[in-house]
A and B are shown apart, each in its own frame.
Chain A
Amino acid sequence: MQEVRRVISVIAMNESSVLARVSGLFAGRGYNIESLTVAPIPKSNLSRFTIVTKGNAKVIEQITKQLNKLISTLKVIEQDENMVEKEMVLIKFSSNESLSDIKALCDAYNGGIVNAGENSVIAMVADESKRVEYFISAAQRYNPLEIVRGGVVAIER
C-alpha cells in the first residue's frame, strides 16, 4: 500500500498529560510524526493538535481510530483537500547580506522582514509546507544563520 502524507487535527481536553497521551500513542505504536503543534482553543477547556503524519491507508485509519479511543479526545478530523494549511518559518540572516534581495524574496512568499538588528535581520514566511521548503532553499544563497520552522496548522474551509 502506498504511503501518503496526512494532516490530522485532534480536539482534546486541555489537561495535563494529554500531549503525552497523544505523542505516546504515536511512539508506542510505531507511527510517524512529521510535525505536531498544540495550542488551547480560545474560550474553552479544549486544545487543538495538528499532526502531520505519513503512512498507508490502513495505518492512517488506525491512527485516527486510536486517537479517537483516548478518553481525553473529543474529536479527530482527518483533513482532506478541503482545508487551509499553513506553516511558519523564521530565518536569521547576517546584516551584511543584501537586505533588498531578501526583502524581495520574502515578498514572493507573502512574508517579510520582522526584525532588524545591528548584526542580523529576521525574515518570516507563513505558507503551505511545500512553499516554505521552496523559500528555505531559495534563502540558501543569502547564507542563513539559523532557520526555525514551526509545525503545520490547518483549518477546514
Chain B
Amino acid sequence: MKMSGAQMVCEALIAEGVTTVFGYPGGAIMNVYDAIYKQDGFEHILTRHEQAAVHAADGYARATGKVGVAMVTSGPGFTNAVTGIATAFTDSIPLVVISGQVSLSLIGTDGFQEIDAVGISRPCTKHNYLVSSLEELPRIMKEAFYIASSGRPGPVLVDIPKDITAEMGEFNYPKEVNIPTYKPSYKGNDRQIKKAVDAILNAKKPLLYLGGGVILSNSSELVKEFANLTQIPAVETLMARGIMGYDNPLLLGMPGMHGNYSSNMAMSESDLIISLGARFDDRVTGKLSEFAKYADVIHVDIDPANIGKLVDVDYPIVGSVKDVVEKMLSLLKHHINPDRYQPWREILDRYNGLHPLKYEDSDEVLKPQWVIQRVGEILGKDAIITSDVGQHQMWTAQFYPFDRPRQWINSGGLGTMGFGFPAAIGAKRGVPDKVVVNFTGDGSILMNMQELVTASEYKIPVINIILNNHFLGMVRQWQTFFYDKRYSETDLSFQPNFKALAEACGGIGYDVTTKKEFDEALKDAIKQNKVCFMNVIISRFENVLPMVPAGGALYNMLLEHKDK
C-alpha cells in the first residue's frame, strides 16, 4: 500500500502493538503528528517537556515490561530528551525514541533546529539510526523495536528527516529481523553452568546477589524458586527490589552504600557470590579491593562486557538469567541439601538481629521512614512506587515493603532527579488498576513539576508525596558528614507553595505535618483519584543510614551518626 513516511511510522507502531506514545510535537516531526491525528491505533499523551515524555515512556516500560515509545522534534526537542534516553540506557530499559530531523538537503548546514542527534545520542543509546531514505524506514522501525527489547535491553533512537516523512512510498513492514551483526546469546554455556552448580553444592556460605536483570528477563518467580529450593540467602540491589518479596526470610535486604548491615556483611563474608543480572556497580561494591574478598564469583549476565569488568569472575556465564537459572535448577534439584547452608543462615540472622534497619520515630515531627512505612501498611502490594533521586529514594528502597517485580521504579544507574513524576505518569497509564505513588523530595519534584498539567489533562492520578526537609537532602547529608557542615547551595528554604501549585494546575494539594494529617491526606488522595502534591514536612536533618562512605569497604558501615 502506498503511504507517506509519516503514516509508515504510525503503521509500524501499530504493528508493534504500541498503544501509548508519549511526546511533544514541533517543526521537523509535524508530518508524523499529522498522521497521528488521522489514526486511532494508539493514543498520544502530550507531556509538557520532552524529558518528561521519555521518562514517561520509561516508566511505562518498567511497569509493563513492554517497549516504551516517545516522540520528539529535532534540535531542542531532541536535546531535552537526552536525559531521559540516558536514564533508560543506564538502567537497560527498552525504549524506541523517534525524533524529527531537518530535511536531508539541510543536514549539515546548521539549519533551524538542526542538531546531530545520532552524534549526541551515540554514547547513551543501545543503537541509533539516521534514516537516509524512505525505503529503509520500515526496516529500521522493525529493527529498532527488536534491538530495544532483545539481549540487554536499551533505548534506540530513530532520527527521521522531515522530507522522508512527507515522501510517498510502498509500505511493506518486515515480519522478521535479520541483523547479521547482532545475535544476543541467551542460553549460557552448559559446561560453565555445570561448574557453577558444582561450586554451589560445595560452598558453605553462598549468597544470591540479585540485580535488575532478573526483572528485565521476567525471571523473578524462577529466581525465587531457586532461592527457596536451595535456601540460599539473597540480597537485592536498588534495581532488584521486589523480587524475593519483603517478608521472605531468605531476603537480607539491599547491599551497598545505603545497604543494611546483614546484606553488606553477607557480601563481605560469603564464599560464593551468585550474581544474577547485576553488574557490581560502585555503589554496591564499595572499595573494590576489599569487596567480597573470600568469595568465588559466579556471574550470570546477558552482556559479556559486564563480566569481569570490575570484579574477577571465577564462573563467567553469558546468558539470560531465565535460561541459565532454569538449567541450574534442573541440575541442582536432586543434589541440593539446603541444611548445608544452615550455619551460614544463622550467622546472617545474628547480624540482622544485631543491626536491623532502624530509625528513631518522633511525636513532634514526621520522620520520612515512618511516612514510607505507613504508605506500605495502607497500600502495600496494591501500589506501584516510583521515586526521584536522593535521600527519599534510599529511604523508600529501605523501608517500603516491596512484594513483586516491577512494583518499584527508580533511576538507579544515572540517578536522574525529575524522573519520578513523569515515570509515575507512564506507569499509571500502563497499569491503570494500581495506585501509583511517587516518593519525591522538595528538590527533585521541581525538576519536572510541569507534568502536573499533563496528569490533570489526561486524568492520570499520581500521588506525589514530597518528603520536604527544605534541603537538597542527600548532598546536605554529605556536607554534614564530609564537608564540616558547609551547606553550600543545598538550603531550599525558599519554596513554592506546593499545595497552591498543584491546585493551579488542576490537581489537589495537601499540607501535612502530623501523622494524623498524613493518614487523612492519603485516604483522601486515593479517594479523589486526581493528581496531587502532598507536601509532607519532615525532620530537617534526618540522615540515610547505614552508610558506607564513598570508597570505603562494605564492612565499614556508619551505623549511626551522632551530631557533635
Contacts and interface: CB of A to CB of B under 8 A. Distances in A.
A74 B308 contact: no
A68 to B, nearest CB: 7
B302 to A, nearest CB: 11
Contacts of B182: 71
6 contacts: A24-B122, A62-B309, A69-B304, A69-B305, A71-B147, A74-B181
Interface in B292-347: 303-305, 308-309
Interface string B171-182: 000000001111
Given A62-B305, A69-B303, A74-B180, A20 B119 contact: yes
Interface residues of A, number: 19
Contacts of A20: 119, 122
Interface string A120-150: 0000000000000000000000000000000
A96 interface: no
Nearest to B118: A17
A71 B126 contact: yes
- Band of interface residues on B: 10 to 19
Given A12-B181, A20-B119, A71 B308 contact: no
Contact of A61 (B127, B130, B308): B308
A28 B308 contact: no
A16 interface: yes
B304 A65 contact: yes
Contacts of B147: 71
B181 A71 contact: yes
A43 to B, nearest CB: 16
A113 interface: no
Interface of B: 118-119, 122-123, 126-127, 130, 132, 147, 179-182, 303-305, 308-309
Contacts of A71: 126-127, 147, 179, 181-182
A28 B119 contact: no
Contacts of B130: 16-17
Interface string A22-64: 0010001000000000000000000000000000001001100
A6 interface: no
B123 A28 contact: yes
A94 interface: no
A118 B182 CA distance: 54
Contacts of B308: 58, 61
A13 interface: yes
B316 to A, nearest CB: 11
Nearest to B124: A28
A73 B182 CA distance: 8
B305 A24 contact: no
A65 B309 CA distance: 10
Contact of A21 (B122, B132, B179, B309): B122
A72 B127 CA distance: 9
Contacts of A28: 123
A98 B524 CA distance: 96
Nearest to A63: B305
Nearest to B147: A71
B122 A73 contact: no
B401 to A, nearest CB: 37
Interchain residue pairs A-B with the least CB separation, the first 9: A65-B305, A71-B127, A74-B181, A28-B123, A71-B182, A69-B305, A65-B304, A24-B122, A66-B305
Interface string A54-95: 000010011001101101111000000000000000000000
B305 A13 contact: no
Contacts of B181: 12-13, 71-74
A118 to B, nearest CB: 40
Given A21-B122, A65-B309, 11 more contacts: A12-B181, A17-B118, A17-B122, A17-B130, A65-B305, A68-B304, A69-B303, A71-B126, A71-B127, A71-B147, A71-B181
B44 to A, nearest CB: 28
Contacts of B304: 65, 68-69
Nearest to B123: A28
Contacts of B123: 24, 28
A27 to B, nearest CB: 9
A68 B303 CA distance: 10
A73 B127 CA distance: 12
Contacts of B309: 62, 65
A73 B304 CA distance: 15
A68 B306 CA distance: 12
Nearest to B119: A20
Nearest to A28: B123
Which of A16, A17, A68, A71 has the most chain B CB within a 10 Å cutoff? A71
Contacts of A65: 304-305, 309
A114 B130 CA distance: 42
A149 to B, nearest CB: 28
A28 B182 CA distance: 22
Which of A21, A66, A69 has the most chain B CB within a 10 Å cutoff? A69
A74 B182 CA distance: 8
A24 B147 CA distance: 20
